Amino acid sequence: MDPIDTLINARWIIPIEPVGRVLEFHSVAIQAGRILAVGPTSELSGRFAAREIVDRTDHVLLPGFVNAHTHAAMTLLRGAAESASFERWLRTQVWPLEHRWIDAEYVRDGTELAIADMLTSGTTCFGDMHLYPEVVAQTVSAAQMRACVGLPVIEESTSWAESAGECLEKGLKLHDDYRDDPLVTTCLSPYASWALGDETLIRVRRAADELELPMSMHVNESADEVVAEGERTIARLDRLGLLSPLLAAVHMIHLDDVDLDACANAGISVVHCPQSNLKLGNGVSPVARFKARDMNIAVGTNGAASNNDLSMLDELRTAALLARGIPSAHVTIEAHEWLRFATLNGARALGLGEVIGSLTPGKWADLCCIDLKRAHTQPVYDPAAQIVFAASRDQVSDVWVAGRALLSSSRLTRLDLEDVLERAQRWRERISKA
Does residue 434 belong to any structural domain of this protein?
Answer: no
CA distances from 26 to 30, 40, 49, 56, 403 (A): 13, 4, 16, 10, 17
**Percent of the chain whose pLDDT exceeds 70:** 100
pLDDT of 304 above 80 = yes
- Number of domains into which the chain is organized: 2
Residue 366: φ, ψ to 5° = -100, 105
pLDDT, residue 199, reads 97
Does residue 345 belong to any structural domain of this protein?
Answer: yes
Confidence of residue 332 (pLDDT cuts 50, 70, 90): very high
Average pLDDT, the chain: 96
Please tell me whether residues 28 and 145 are part of one structural domain: no
Does residue 39 belong to any structural domain of this protein?
Answer: yes
Mean pLDDT across the stretch 181-187? 98
- Tens-digit pLDDT profile for residues 409-419: 999 999 999 99
Please tell me whether residues 219 and 94 are part of one structural domain: yes
Please tell me whether residues 138 and 114 are part of one structural domain: yes
pLDDT, residue 434, reads 63
Does residue 419 belong to any structural domain of this protein?
Answer: no
pLDDT of 327 above 80 = no
Crossing angle of helices 133-143/104-119, nearest 10°? 40
Does residue 410 belong to any structural domain of this protein?
Answer: no
CA distances from 331 to 6, 20, 290, 323 (A): 41, 17, 10, 10
Please tell me whether residues 241 and 388 are part of one structural domain: no
pLDDT of 328 above 80 = no
Does residue 126 belong to any structural domain of this protein?
Answer: yes
pLDDT, residue 85, reads 84
Task: Provide the domain limits for residue 46.
Answer: 2-63+363-402
Mean pLDDT across the stretch 85-99? 89
pLDDT, residue 326, reads 86
- Tens-digit pLDDT profile for residues 280-290: 999 999 999 99
- Tens-digit pLDDT profile for residues 351-392: 999 999 999 999 999 999 999 999 999 999 999 999 999 999
pLDDT of 84 above 80 = no
pTM of the model: 0.97
Please tell me whether residues 222 and 284 are part of one structural domain: yes
Please tell me whether residues 132 and 185 are part of one structural domain: yes
Residue 324: φ, ψ to 5° = -75, -35
